[in-house]
Structure 1
């Protein structure tokens, strides 16, 4: 389920919006800006009840466009019911926890676990996950992606953490399937730098 979902979701646009603890008003502004330039999916990290309010609002707005929003920073099984009730369509974790990953999928929520070492990649693959969050991408760097693809060519990395419009293409060139960006969507100059990976056709794609 997880592989098929993300393969379809990220088929056309290799960019995900990620808006951490920005508050409701600013998160909605960033989400709208990201949608308007063609981003089809985004993540709202959830660490407290206020974040759940933001997640619900963004998920409701996304649903009107026929799009999905996921919940990030999922580090416990106990979070899953709350984010599902708030409208999350998938979950993302900063690390790999086999129990959390399995419980998310069991609830019908595709899951992207976080990895930062070869051992974590291998463990996640053994558990059946090939879409993995390379975190923190800024510290790992594009070379890490390239090297890990040697022994693990089947992995589909989502570069998250410190990726900028200036570095996004280098991660994609290294083999990442997706890059996650946040505040860049509040700046027209920054958005323009994403032009090569946000094709006009994506922005014009009608909602599902």
Structure 2
């Protein structure tokens, strides 16, 4: 399984590469070792992936999110990324990533899209935006899809993560509430404190 039950994935968005290593250090020190670098600002993201990959190698599981084109997949892998997350469902893009022998976590919104992902032997789907769909929606998915690993993304924070976990989300990718968009070294203390709280929360829920 690409993402273990109870995992927290840190989303890095708009980070200048010069701050990427310091931010990653704080996350790793506090128990978060799975990172998604968003390609919403592509050149910054690729630079950050290169820096993190070089500095941490096997100690972090590093991938890219907001991937919408096949050429981006190639650039991410060349930079050192190990997995791909897409914002929405795209069968052709999913198959392209799989052809590269790397894991893909596609974005899904509807039961139909989850069915298509299952047919492509996808192990983990990204339910996005989770806060729009709501806790009751997640709970309803457990009937037809009891064995699908659902990663909750979008609007999940320390205040509602417990509800989404108990409803059926197995893991979460957290962005701005954990690592502010465009974060710098000025944000390190806040990132450290939030990382600790997220990890402690998940440990409590899993036990």
- TM-score, normalised to structure 2, is 0.83
Distance in 1, matches of 2:47 and 2:23, equals 16
Distance in 1, matches of 2:31 and 2:83, equals 20
What residue number does 1:157 align with?
Answer: 150
What residue number does 1:203 align with?
Answer: none
Deviates more, 1:20-29 or 1:44-53: 20-29
Give unmatched runs, 5+ long, in structure 2. Answer: 180-187
Deviations, residues 99-151 of structure 1 (Å, cap 9, x unaligned): 11111111121000000111111111122113100111221222221111111
Checking the alignment, whether the CA contact within 8 Å between 2:125 and 2:150 is kept in structure 1 is yes
Q: Residue 49 of structure 2 is aligned with which of 55, 70, 89?
A: 55
Distance in 2, matches of 1:198 and 1:34, equals 16
Q: Residue 107 of structure 2 is aligned with which of 107, 110, 114?
A: 114
Distance in 1, matches of 2:138 and 2:122, equals 17
Distance in 1, matches of 2:32 and 2:193, equals 17
| Aligned CA distance change for structure 1 residues 179 and 98 (closer, same or farther; 3 Å) | same
Give unmatched runs, 5+ long, in structure 1. Answer: 200-208
What residue number does 1:67 align with?
Answer: 60
CA deviation after TM superposition for structure 1 residue 198, in Å: 4.5
What residue number does 2:194 align with?
Answer: 190
| Aligned CA distance change for structure 1 residues 62 and 163 (closer, same or farther; 3 Å) | farther
C-alpha RMSD over aligned residues? 2.0
SS in 2 for 1:108: coil
Determine if the alignment matches structure 1 residue 103 to structure 2 residue 107: no
CA deviation after TM superposition for structure 1 residue 72, in Å: 0.8
Relative CO higher for 1 or 2, CA cutoff 8 Å, sep ≥ 6?
2
| Aligned CA distance change for structure 1 residues 29 and 143 (closer, same or farther; 3 Å) | farther
Distance in 2, matches of 1:166 and 1:32, equals 25
Aligned 1:1-208 pairs, distance under 5 A = 4=1, 6=2, 9-10=3-4, 13-47=6-40, 48-63=42-57, 66-182=59-175, 183-184=177-178, 186=188, 187=190, 189-194=193-198, 195-198=200-203
Alignment: residue pair count: 191
Distance in 2, matches of 1:79 and 1:45, equals 11
